């Protein structure tokens, strides 16, 4: 079974322009995601999919592989699907599973990728998986940048929202509350089918890719991870994550290579 990782990233983030190259402890954020994704033994290869030459140049400078995609993609999953087609055309090898790893998840650890892929290895009927982790406060639940998810008894997603779900007023504090963690494996054939599906009303309103899956009658398997990670949606998030990563045990395994590449200063314009 061939499993590849695709990291979609673009400079034109509406909430935080230039986010992929924003430095965290001297390394552009996309560099953290790439190096940490490469540590997964489950992935045969990792590629960064972008429409920006600045990002592609940085990835090449650290020995990574980048794929230039169209600038018109609004959804990370659509960019990922295009990138897979390009990669397969270049390599001549077809992927069985494609793991989309969002470029704003610099705290990802390799075991999270293993956790996300495991249900697909065990059950051929599962088409797409999302990781989720616990929300620990009402403030997190009300943060519109955190995608919340509620699940059924078999851990399939019922709904995703940027609004607080389940209802705090009705007792949510006594229930496990979850956020989506954007490590998302697709079966290759389903990713192709997903990309061909028309965008759906709830997907557009909530700005959440996975709602397209639900609105077209398919299932999203959710897997809870115990790892504590935070995505970066704002400059405040960046500062928080940088503080949390100061003693990160994975950082020494790749930080030196990023610094020695001589490209960290170049990316930051110094």
Query: 265: part of which helix (H) or strand (E)?
Result: helix 264-267
- pLDDT mean for each 10 residues of the chain (270 residues): 96 85 94 95 96 94 94 90 95 96 95 96 96 90 92 97 86 82 96 92 95 97 95 92 95 80 39
Do 20 and 29 form a contact (C-beta atoms < 8 A)? yes
Measured in Å, how far apart are the chain's first and last C-alpha atoms? 43
Q: Distance between CA 10 and CA 239 in Å, rounded?
A: 20
Of 135, 69, 154, 136, the C-alpha closest to 103 is 69
Pairing, β 45-50 against β 221-224: unpaired
Q: Provide the 3-class DSSP secondary structure of residue 67.
A: strand
Q: Which pLDDT score is estimated for 136?
A: 84
Q: Which pLDDT score is estimated for 8?
A: 96
Q: Which pLDDT score is estimated for 268?
A: 34
Q: What is the dihedral of CA 200, 213, 232, 74, to 10 degrees?
A: -40
Write down all domains in the chain, each with its CATH number in brackets: 3-229 (3.90.550.10)
Q: Which pLDDT score is estimated for 12?
A: 85
**C-alpha distances in angstroms, 189 versus 11, 89, 202, 255?**
29, 15, 24, 36
Peptide bond into 95 cis (omega under 30): no
Q: Provide the 3-class DSSP secondary structure of residue 146.
A: coil
């Amino acid at each position: 079974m061939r499993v590849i990782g695709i990291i979609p990233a673009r400079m034109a983030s509406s909430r935080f322009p230039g986010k992929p190259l924003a430095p965290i402890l001297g390394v552009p954020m996309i560099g953290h995601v790439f190096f940490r994704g490469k540590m997964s033994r489950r992935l045969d290869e990792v590629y960064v999919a972008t429409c920006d030459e600045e990002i592609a140049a940085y990835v090449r400078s650290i020995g990574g592989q980048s794929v230039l995609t169209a600038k018109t993609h609004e959804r990370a999953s659509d960019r990922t699907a295009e990138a897979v087609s390009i990669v397969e055309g270049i390599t001549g090898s077809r992927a069985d599973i494609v793991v989309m790893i969002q470029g704003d998840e610099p705290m990802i650890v390799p075991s999270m990728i293993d956790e996300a892929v495991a249900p697909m290895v065990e059950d051929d009927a599962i088409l797409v998986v999302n990781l989720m982790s616990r929300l620990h406060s009402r403030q997190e639940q009300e943060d519109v940048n955190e995608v919340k998810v509620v699940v059924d008894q078999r851990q399939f997603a019922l709904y995703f929202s940027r609004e607080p779900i389940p209802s705090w007023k009705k007792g949510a504090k006594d229930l496990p509350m979850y956020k989506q963690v954007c490590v998302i494996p697709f079966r290759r054939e389903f990713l192709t089918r997903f990309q061909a599906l028309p965008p759906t009303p709830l997907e557009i309103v909530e700005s959440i890719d996975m709602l397209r899956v639900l609105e077209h009658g398919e299932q999203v398997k959710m897997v809870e991870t115990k790892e504590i990670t935070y995505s970066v949606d704002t400059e405040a998030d960046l500062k928080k994550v940088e503080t949390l990563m100061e003693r990160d045990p994975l950082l020494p395994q790749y930080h030196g290579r990023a610094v020695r590449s001589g490209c960290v200063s170049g990316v930051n314009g110094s």
